[in-house]
Amino acid sequence: MTDIWAALPKGESSMDMEFSPEDLAFQTEVRDFIAENYPAELRGKQDEGDELGKEDFLAWHKILYKKGWVAPAWPVEYGGTGWTPTQRFIFSEEIARADCIRLLPFGLSMVGPVIYTFGTPEQKARFLPRILSGEDWWCQGYSEPGAGSDLASLRTAAVRDGDHYVVNGQKTWTTMAQHADWGFFLVRTDKEAKPQEGISFLLIDMKSPGITVRPIITLGGEHEVNEVFLEDVRVPVEQRVYEENKGWTCAKFLLAHERTGIAGVASSKRGVERVKAIARTELDGDGPLIDNPFFKRKIAELEIDLTALEFTELRGLAGPNAGKGPGPESSLLKIKGSEIQQRLTELTLEAVGHYGAPYFRGFGEGDNEHPIGPDYAHRAAPTYFNMRKTTIYGGSNEIQRNIIAKMVLGL
């Protein structure tokens, strides 16, 4: 494939989906590197559905960092790979095909691009190298108890006091905050301005006095998200990104990157293969479930939608290559990607049948009972419940439809 979705004459609908010899060589290089370097202990943990800790995430991160492959989408001058959109697509496909643990997006895909786009030279020099190396673990302080998809109504306040801001408020659904070294927070710095015009973007050391992190246990049974309370937290003004009261510009930029990542096309393709494998094993009457025409139809419909989403993502990848960031199409990717992920978990739960009922999370120290049913069934129910969130976080799908109506359709 030459650069993906090269400009076609108006009215033409065909495109070259063949990889070039150079791209095929790159694919082999990536596949061989993963086979030789991906830690075996991580692959086992994912296969068995074990809860992954901070060191598990960082182990693969550091391997890719040493190779120079940890941030493919970053500009070369800040540590990116310089790969074409096609190569980045191949890389994500191979990572998913090998069932590698995902790299957490908060540093690499969210605040990193904000810093290299809007940050000062000092901020870039201070934060970007440590994001790449994994030395700093980041979390996102956006949502509040009264400000979720209506993010502009946030109330966490930052009052200027000399060369510091004093921050008070509460954030919620803060993923992995229990491990975070730093957080990027939206705070209100002008209560009199229109909602979007009085917000600033702060980088806050999570070890600062006045920060309290409390766990929220999800429907899947994991400690993944948290509440974060800020009480008279002093933040140097030099840790504000971009201008005071202009943080909404950074917020929108970041959310476009987040929504593009939520699409998860490569991992969903891997998920479809998992469902097929389960359906070949599980019985439906005298034959395998995969031969049930109703179940087969559900898989086919899912694959068709996933292929369409993949083509949309490929088309979107050409944007950054032309010097553009993610646009309104990121909302489309978020909507369809999250819906497909939920349908995948529904099909998985349907495929494992009654084996999903015990709702096993795995067995820890002191457990002496053997799980009921096949290994692939133990995570079906927890994953199903956990994935109910995908159509809500990153801006609910209802909000994304409004964005498309306004920015794409002009309604």
Largest distance between two CA atoms of the chain: 76
Query: What is the Cα 305 distance to its own chain's centre?
Result: 20
Q: Which of 93, 94, 224, 258 is the catalytic position?
A: 258
140 forms beta bridges with 184
Could you give the C-alpha distances from 262 to 24, 332, 357, in angstroms and in order? 27, 11, 28
Neighbours of 10 (CB within 10 A): 5
Measured at the CA of 395, the angle between CA 391 and CA 401, to 5 degrees, comes to 80
Rounded CA-CA distance 100/20 in Å is: 25
Q: Which of 144, 154, 167 is nearest to 227 (CA)?
A: 144
Rounded CA-CA distance 265/310 in Å is: 6
Q: Would you say 74 and 113 are in contact if contact means Cβ atoms under 8 Å apart?
A: yes
Rounded CA-CA distance 176/375 in Å is: 27
Rounded CA-CA distance 257/249 in Å is: 13
The set of residues, in sequence order, having a beta carbon less than 8 Å from that of 349 and lying 6+ positions away, is 356, 380, 381, 384
First vs last Cα of the chain: how many Å apart?
36
The set of residues, in sequence order, having a beta carbon less than 8 Å from that of 96 and lying 6+ positions away, is 266, 267, 269, 270
* CB-based burial label for 173 (10 Å; 0-12, 13-18, 19+): buried
Is 339 catalytic? The answer is no
Query: What is the Cα 225 distance to its own chain's centre?
Result: 14
Q: Would you say 176 and 139 are in contact if contact means Cβ atoms under 8 Å apart?
A: yes
At 56, the amino acid letter reads: D
Could you give the C-alpha distances from 227 to 230, 245, 261, in angstroms and in order? 10, 25, 23
Residues designated as active site: 258
